[in-house]
Amino acid sequence: MGLIAPLAALFGLELESVAARARAAAIVYGLIALFLLAAAIFLTVAGYLALADLFSPLIAALLMAGLFLVLALAVYAGMLIGRGRTRRHVAERRRASETGAFVTTAALTALPALLRAPALVRIGLPAAAIAAFALLRDRSDDE
């Protein structure tokens, strides 16, 4: 808290008003969540009562349990799919970064030897610049 007050003063904010707005927002969102939970409970009870009217209470309870089990499995499968996508994306970014570092290291290692040959300097430097430009342009097109 000792660092937040000078930082807030630096940006021209009054810490008390920011804290009051955050507290008010937390209370409002908490009440909204409570009312949504109550609505979900009453909808579940209404669904059970409607099923119990059509079938027996035992069958209605089994149907509701099966429905919620399927919903839980669907949410779990969605979480696994999202996690897999995130892992693949991180692996692709790491692979691209490692490849770039490898190419840069190889180029810097070979540069002193290449600069000794005057014909290679005249031909190699423009070719390297064109290749680097093409690689950077292709990489920016992917993103």
Asked if residues 5 and 18 have their Cβ atoms less than 8 Å apart, the reply is no
C-beta separation of 32 from 22 below 8 A: no
The Cα 4–Cα 17 span in angstroms is 13
Q: How many Cβ atoms are within 10 Å of 5's Cβ, its own excluded?
A: 13
pTM above 0.75, yes or no: no
pLDDT band at 44 (very low <50, low <70, confident <90, very high): very high
Q: Map out the domains of the chain as residue ranges.
A: 1-54, 56-117
Query: Comparing 107 with 69, which gets the higher pLDDT?
Result: 69
Look at the block and give the residue holding tokens 């507290």: 23
CA–CA distance, 20 with 18 (Å, rounded to integer): 5
Give 94-139 pLDDT, tens digit per residue: 888 888 777 778 777 877 777 777 777 677 777 777 887 777 776 5
